[in-house]
């Protein structure tokens, strides 16, 4: 597996973890415990977007604390943007007469995506966001438990 494939897998897996932490906050805030049907039929639905979950998280934060969470929400948005780059931008384009391909940046198509820089940025912020979300979850009565192996 090449380096980009490893980065892609790690970014997507960690972004999934972040999204599940948001799911946990949503169901803990509104339902006070996990209901499998709500989790699987509502929050896990493929049309229940990350953006909608983020907006609900912002509403929850406005009710449970008076801290300014804008920088963490900005980091959360950046994590999702980087995740989208890794998940959706991977087709190389080649210029006629030039043997080197590039994956164009969808925001500036004349520029190539630097996946190494994006990976490093993602890794520099994702741990703090996971910790922040875990602390929110615990502050509203949620518990994080390790899975028991029988």
> Is 55 a domain residue?
yes
Distance of CA 123 to the CA centre of its chain: 12
Q: Which helix (H) or strand (E) holds 93?
A: strand 93-94
Cα separation, 12 vs 122, in Å, equals: 10
- In percent, the amount of the chain with pLDDT more than 70 equals 85
Compare 117 and 113 and report the one with higher pLDDT: 117
- The domain total for the chain is 1
> Is 145 a domain residue?
no
pTM for the predicted model, two decimal places? 0.84
Compare 104 and 62 and report the one with higher pLDDT: 62
pLDDT at 147 over 80: no
Cα separation, 15 vs 80, in Å, equals: 7
The residue with tokens 């972040």 is: 18
Range of the domain at 25: 3-139
Cα separation, 117 vs 99, in Å, equals: 23
Give per-residue pLDDT as tens, 72-86: 999 999 999 999 899
Give per-residue pLDDT as tens, 19-59: 999 999 999 999 987 788 888 889 988 999 999 999 999 99
């Amino acid at each position: 597996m090449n380096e980009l494939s490893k980065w892609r897998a790690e970014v997507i897996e960690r972004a999934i973890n972040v999204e599940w932490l948001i799911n946990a906050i949503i169901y803990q805030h509104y339902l006070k415990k996990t209901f499998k049907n709500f989790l699987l039929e509502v929050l896990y639905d493929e049309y229940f977007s990350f953006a909608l979950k983020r907006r609900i998280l912002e509403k929850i934060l406005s009710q449970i604390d008076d801290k300014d969470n804008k920088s963490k929400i900005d980091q959360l948005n950046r994590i999702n943007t980087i995740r989208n780059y890794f998940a959706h931008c991977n087709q190389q384009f080649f210029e006629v007469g030039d043997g080197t391909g590039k994956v164009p940046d969808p925001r500036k198509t004349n520029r190539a995506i630097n996946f190494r820089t994006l990976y490093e940025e993602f890794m520099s912020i994702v741990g703090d966001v996971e910790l922040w979300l875990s602390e929110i979850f615990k502050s509203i009565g949620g518990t994080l438990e390790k899975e028991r192996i029988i």
